[in-house]
Chain A
C-alpha cells in the first residue's frame, strides 16, 4: 500500500491561511500511493476541501510543496495538472449536451474526431448512460447528472481523480448505490482517487485509507477497519461511528492496560491509547454494540449495575439508553436475534465490556 519513497501524490509541510491569522491547514504531510482510494473525512471547516483545492490548483499553499509523481506542481496551473475532478454540484456545463460536456476535455487536448467519439461512447457506457448523450444536464435526474460528472472527470484518462462531496445532493438509496459504483470504477480503472466527504459511512464503504481531518490537522490516517476498531484519539473515536464517552482519572497504568476511576462507578479497566499518565484525566470510549447485557459473573473485567431509561425498537436491532456510571446518555445496541431479553424502561440490569473494547484517551 502506501510507499513513502514512491508516493504518487505527496503533501510536504503544507500550510494554508486565507486571512493571514488562522491556519486552515496546519503542517500537513500526506503521501498517497498510486492507485489508492484515499478519503479525506472531517466536519465542515476542518480543512479537507481546502486541501483538495490545493491539490487541484485552485488554491495556493501558503507554505510547503505538493508533488505529483516526482515533480512539484506548485507552479503548474490547474489546466496543466491533468487531474480529473468531480465537483459538489457536478458543475456540468448547462449550455452543452452530455456529449459536448464529455467532449470538452478531449477537444481541449485536440484529439481526433473518431477518438473523441469512441472515448465519449466508452465513458457513457461505463456509467450506463449510453442513450442520454444528446440531452442537456437539466433534463437528467440528479443521479444521472452525477454519473455524467463522473464520466467527464474520467474521459480523458487522468491518472488522478478528485471528488469533492460528489454524492451530497443525492438521496440515501441512490447515494449508497453510487458509492459502490464509484468503488467499482476505481477498481476497474486503477486510477488514484482522492475523495472528500463529511459522511463517515461513505468513507468507510469506499476507501482504502481514510484521513480524518479536524481543525486543519489529520487526526488519524488509516484503513477503515483500523479507524473504527482502533481510533487513535478521542476525536476520531467520537467522529467515526457511535460512541459512549466516560470521563475519569487515571489511577493505575500497567503496560497496555490502565485503570480509570470514573465518578459514581469505580474503576474501569481500559486499553491505553494515549493517556498522559497516572493522575491525569482521561476519556474512555466504548462502542454501543460492544456492551454486553447481563454478563455471567466473572466473565468480563468491567461489570456495572445499570438502569434502563429508554428503549427504541429499530427492527434489526434494539437501542437502549441506560444510566450507568452516573451517566444518563449511555447507549447500548442489541441485535434483534433469538433469545433477546425483553427490555423494560426502569428495569435494573447489569452491563459489562472487555478491556480491549474500552479505549482510554487523554482528555485534553
Chain B
C-alpha cells in the first residue's frame, strides 16, 4: 500500500527515496567492510602506533623533577640563573629533599640530575638523608655545608630546567650535545661523544649490507627467473630454506664457521692461503657476513618476482632490433627490474637499520649498531628517555631517507611481487 502511494504521488518524488536507499545500502556495505578491518586496526593501533607515539613523546617528555621536587621548581621559576638562588629556593630544596627521603624518591631525583651532572646521584642521596635532620633555617648555608654540590650553579640550572615537563636533553645527548653550565648547548667532550659515530656506523653497515645483497642477489634472481621451473624451484628452496631457520641459529652458525679454529679458517690454512687464522668474527667482517646472509633472500625475492613478470619477448625484441646480448639486457631488461631492485633494497636497508641480535653476537664492541644502545638504555640503564630519543632519531632519519628515496625512485614504482 505504502509503496503504491509513493509511486502514485508523482515521478519527481521517486528519485529521492532511491538516492537515500542507495546511500543506506552503501553505508551498510562500508560499515560491514570497516567492521572486518577493525580487529586489525585495533591491533596495529595498540601494538604499533601507540607505542611509537609514546616513544616519540618520551623522547622529549620528563617530569621527574617537576613531580618529585615541586616546591623547588616553584621557587626557581623566578630565579634569573646568574648567581646562586636565594634562601627561599634553598628552603624549598630542603623541604623537597626531606619529602623525598620520606617517600624514598631520592634515588630517582639523583638519577635524573646525574644524567646531566655525572656523579651527582650519590650526593643527592646523601643530601636527602642529611637534610632530613634539618629543622630550621637558614637552609642555604646548612645545605652547602651538607654538600658542596648545592653551591654549584650547574645543579641549580638542572633543577630550573626540571621545572618544565619537556626537555630536549635526551635528543641533544643522542646527537652528542649537552647543556653547559650556563644552560647553553655545547658539544659533549670527545671521549663521551659516541652516538653520531653509532648512527653513521648503523647507516654505513646497512648501506654496505644492502649493496652486497644486491650484488649477490641480482644475478641469482636472474638465474632463478630464467631457468626451467623444475631447476629453479629446487634452487629457490635452497634460497628460502635458511629463511625458515631461526635468526639466532643462523647467526650462531656463523660463529662456528668463522671463529679462529672454525671451518673457514681451517680450510684456508689447509690450502696454505693464510698461515695463521684470520680474524673473521667478533669484528666488522663477521657482522657484515652474517647480516648479508640473513638479508639476501629479502633483497632477492622482490627482484625475482619482478623478473618473473618480464616476458622473454622484450629481450628477443631488442635482439631482433639489432641489440647485442649485453646491450639488450642493459637497456631493455635491467630497467624493467628497477622496481624490484628498489623494493628489495629498501626492505633490506630498513631492516638492517634495526639489527640488534646479529651485531651483538658476531660483532665486536665497535660494531654495535643503534639498536644495541636502545636496548641497553631500555633494559640495563633504565633510561627510557634516552632510549626513546635514540629511537625517535632513528625513525626520523629513516623516514627522511625514505622520502629522498621516494623522490629518486618513486614508491609507486616499488613492486614486492
Residues of A within 8 A of B (CB): 56-58, 77-85, 87-89, 91-95, 104-105, 108-109, 152-153, 156, 162
Contacts and interface: CB of A to CB of B under 8 A. Distances in A.
B46 to A, nearest CB: 41
B316 A104 contact: no
A105 B335 contact: no
B317 interface: yes
A82 B313 CA distance: 17
B320 interface: yes
B319 interface: yes
A227 B346 CA distance: 60
Contact of A104 (B311, B324, B331): B331
Contacts of B323: 79, 104-105, 108
Interface string B314-355: 101111111111011001100110000000000000000000
B322 A87 contact: no
B322 A79 contact: yes
B321 A94 contact: no
Residue of A87, A89, A109, A153 ringed by the most chain B CB atoms within 10 A: A87
B320 A84 contact: yes
A83 B314 contact: no
Nearest to B321: A105
B53 to A, nearest CB: 40
Interface residues of B, number: 19
Given A104-B321, A109-B322, A156-B322, A93 B314 contact: yes
Contacts of A162: 320
Residue of B314, B321, B328 ringed by the most chain A CB atoms within 10 A: B321
Interface string B24-59: 000000000000000000000000000000000000
Interface string B362-384: 00000000000000000000000
B320 A85 contact: yes
A156 B317 contact: no
A91 B320 CA distance: 11
B316 A87 contact: yes
Contacts of A95: 335-336
Interface in B265-290: none
B331 A91 contact: no
B319 A78 contact: yes
Interface of B: 311, 313-314, 316-325, 327-328, 331-332, 335-336
A145 to B, nearest CB: 13
Contacts of A108: 321-323, 327
B340 to A, nearest CB: 13
B332 A79 contact: no
Contact of A78 (B313, B314, B316, B331): B316
Nearest 4 CB-CB pairs, A to B? Answer: A105-B321, A91-B317, A85-B320, A91-B313
Contacts of B325: 77, 79
A152 B322 CA distance: 12
A89 to B, nearest CB: 7
A87 B319 contact: no
Given A58-B316, A85-B317, A108-B327, A91 B311 contact: yes
A78 B313 CA distance: 13
A152 B335 contact: no
Given A87-B313, A108-B327, A78 B320 contact: yes
Nearest to B328: A79
A156 B316 contact: no
A91 B323 CA distance: 14
Contacts of B313: 87-89, 91
B322 A105 contact: yes
B50 to A, nearest CB: 41
A80 B321 CA distance: 9
Given A91-B311, A91-B314, A93-B332, A83 B320 contact: yes
A41 to B, nearest CB: 21
B148 to A, nearest CB: 73
21 contacts: A56-B320, A77-B319, A77-B324, A77-B325, A78-B320, A79-B319, A79-B320, A79-B323, A79-B328, A82-B322, A84-B320, A85-B316, A91-B317, A94-B336, A95-B336, A104-B321, A108-B321, A108-B322, A109-B322, A153-B321, A156-B322
